[in-house]
Amino acid sequence: MELDNIEKLLEKYFEATTTVAEEKTLQAYFSQESVPTHLKQYKPMFNYFSNAKEERYTKQVPLKPRKDFYKWISVAAVAVLSFGIYFGNQYQEKRQAEYAYQETKKAFELLAENFGKGTEKVAYLQEFEVAKQKIYNNN
């Protein structure tokens, strides 16, 4: 690789107009031992970049097989909830029916009581009838 070309590439490089291929050329050029003195200052830069590429992520990739744990929990939760709603409703209905029954009973009792009063009063009418019969019989 002639020096001219490298110098031109360097110029382009610092204007960020080089292509990836040209940059690879530069990296390759600066990775060799003998570099002209006036270009030596760039050597660390390119060497650093090519070395930085070698760094690896050495840790284990930490993957646990995912469990369908949450899915089953949600299924259970839905089951419990629907049971609750079902039986809760039944209980509620029973309570309401009982309440309605008690209320009706109370109402009937009230009615019965008032009827009772009514019949008591009607009993006096009997007296009236008796008196009326007496009068008829006398005449």
Partner 1 sequence: MKQAEFLNVVMPFKDKLYRLAKRLLVSREEAEDATQEILLKLWSKNESMGEYKNVEAFAMTMTKNFCLDRLKSKQAGNLKLVHSNYSDESTSLQGQLEAEDSVRWMERIMEELPEQQKMVLQLRDVEQYEFEEICELLDMKPTAVRVALSRARKTVRQELVKKHSYGIG
Question: CA 121 to CA 133: how far, in whole Å?
Answer: 20
Using the contact rule CB under 8 A, the part of the chain among 15-23, 68-76, 102-110, 129-137 near partner 1 is 15-23
Please, what is the minimum distance in Å from the beta carbon of residue 56 to partner 1?
Answer: 5
Any residues with CB less than 8 A from the CB of 1 and at least 6 apart, and which?
Answer: 25, 29
Among 2, 4, 34, 59, binds partner 1 (CB under 8 A): 59
Alpha carbon 100 to its chain centroid, in Å, reads 40
Answer yes or no whether residue 9 interacts with partner 1 by CB under 8 A: no
Q: Is the dihedral of CA 80, 86, 89, 91 positive or negative?
A: negative
Interface contacts to partner 1, rule CB under 8 A: 13-17, 20, 23-24, 40-45, 47-49, 51-57, 59, 61-63, 65-66
